Amino acid sequence: MENVNPGSLQMALAPTPHAGLENQRHRTLWQDGIRRFSRNRLAVFGLSIVIFFLLLAIFADVIAPYSYKEANFSKAKLFPLQDSAHPLGTDVVGRDYLSRLIYGARTSLSVGIIIQLIALTVGVPLGGMAGYLGGKLDFVLMRVVEVLTAFPGLLFAILIVSLWGGGFWKVIFALSITGWIGYARLVRGQVLSLREKEYVEAARSLGATPRSILFKHLIPNLLTPLLVAISFGIPGAMFGEAGLSFLGIGINDPLPSWGQMVGASGAFAKVYWHLALFPTLAIALAMLGFSFVGDGLRDALDPKLIE
């Protein structure tokens, strides 16, 4: 990891580094980033929201008082606090709303993360090859990108989901089709500009192999923008899932999803306000948390910002 630090070259060249100075100066980009990030109150607040939802998602079986599909018709449509056994009330068929919200976090986050993983494994190599090799591959990739961006990604996903039907994996598939474009573009642009940088040229003229240039100079410089892109990509995918489920063509009913819960509550919004309010707040809070983290990461990892 030390290779990331532009200062480490100076350290290596300095004949006898002063011990005290070294301690002060020798901080890697990541240590710098963590320091800046933890000083940013909004970013830390966002991170705690994200961790909270992550814990809910991972330990949903332990935390949730009921199962997400256990319906009790005698207790349908309870308001919050009306029954001490159901603090956030129950839905139309008498399922505990708190439990469904907790399992909803699992659905939402897993869709968001899986889509990003797929998008990364497709987009990063494609963009990298297109940027590094150029030529025909680059031309073809850019035309594909051009076509896919001419048509809003969510409309495309709606088309696919309504043709092939909804469900967990189909939602992921539909949103992944356009999800990789951002990464491919980002990596291609970065590689194109990095390739021409002086330090890469210097490394090449010093006799570095293409392999070591790729791993020591290109990839570390790609990691920070990618990390920022991922932190915005996850809520983006969660938004897509929530949207599809909201329209009733995403996640199918027994499995809870916040978007689907908002959509299903539409007909009852006048009286049973809690059905719309809680999942709406959950979506809003999750989106806010992720974008605070994303903004914080961008500010923390941008080496152009001077402390």
Which residues of the chain form contacts with other proteins (CB under 8 A)? Answer: 143, 146-147, 150-152, 154-155, 158-160, 162-164, 235, 239, 242-243, 246-247, 249, 259, 262, 265-266, 269-271, 273, 276-277, 280, 283-284, 287-288, 290-291
Identity of the residue, 39 or 143, whose beta carbon is nearer to other proteins in the bound complex? 143
Q: Which amino acid is at 194?
A: L
Identity of the residue, 4 or 234, whose beta carbon is nearer to other proteins in the bound complex? 234
In angstroms, rounded to a whole number, what is the distance separating the alpha carbons of residues 265 and 276? Answer: 5
HSE, CB side, 13 Å, CA atoms: give it for residue 205: 7
Identity of the residue, 177 or 208, whose beta carbon is nearer to other proteins in the bound complex? 177
In angstroms, the first-to-last Cα distance of the chain is 21
Identity of the residue, 225 or 240, whose beta carbon is nearer to other proteins in the bound complex? 240
- Taking the complex as a whole, the smallest distance from the CB of residue 250 to other proteins amounts, in Å, to 12
- Taking the complex as a whole, the smallest distance from the CB of residue 50 to other proteins amounts, in Å, to 13
Structure tokens at 117: 């993983």
Q: Tally Cβ neighbours within 10 Å of residue 203.
A: 16
Backbone angles phi, psi at 86, to 5 degrees: -125, 80
Q: Which amino acid is at 180?
A: W
Identity of the residue, 68 or 246, whose beta carbon is nearer to other proteins in the bound complex? 246
Residues 123, 183 contacting (CB under 8 angstroms): yes
- Taking the complex as a whole, the smallest distance from the CB of residue 35 to other proteins amounts, in Å, to 23
Rg (CA), the chain: 24
In angstroms, rounded to a whole number, what is the distance separating the alpha carbons of residues 88 and 78? Answer: 8
In angstroms, rounded to a whole number, what is the distance separating the alpha carbons of residues 201 and 20? Answer: 33
Residues 175, 241 contacting (CB under 8 angstroms): yes
Q: How big is the chain, counted in residues?
A: 307
- Taking the complex as a whole, the smallest distance from the CB of residue 136 to other proteins amounts, in Å, to 16
- Taking the complex as a whole, the smallest distance from the CB of residue 276 to other proteins amounts, in Å, to 5
Identity of the residue, 161 or 301, whose beta carbon is nearer to other proteins in the bound complex? 161
- Taking the complex as a whole, the smallest distance from the CB of residue 68 to other proteins amounts, in Å, to 21
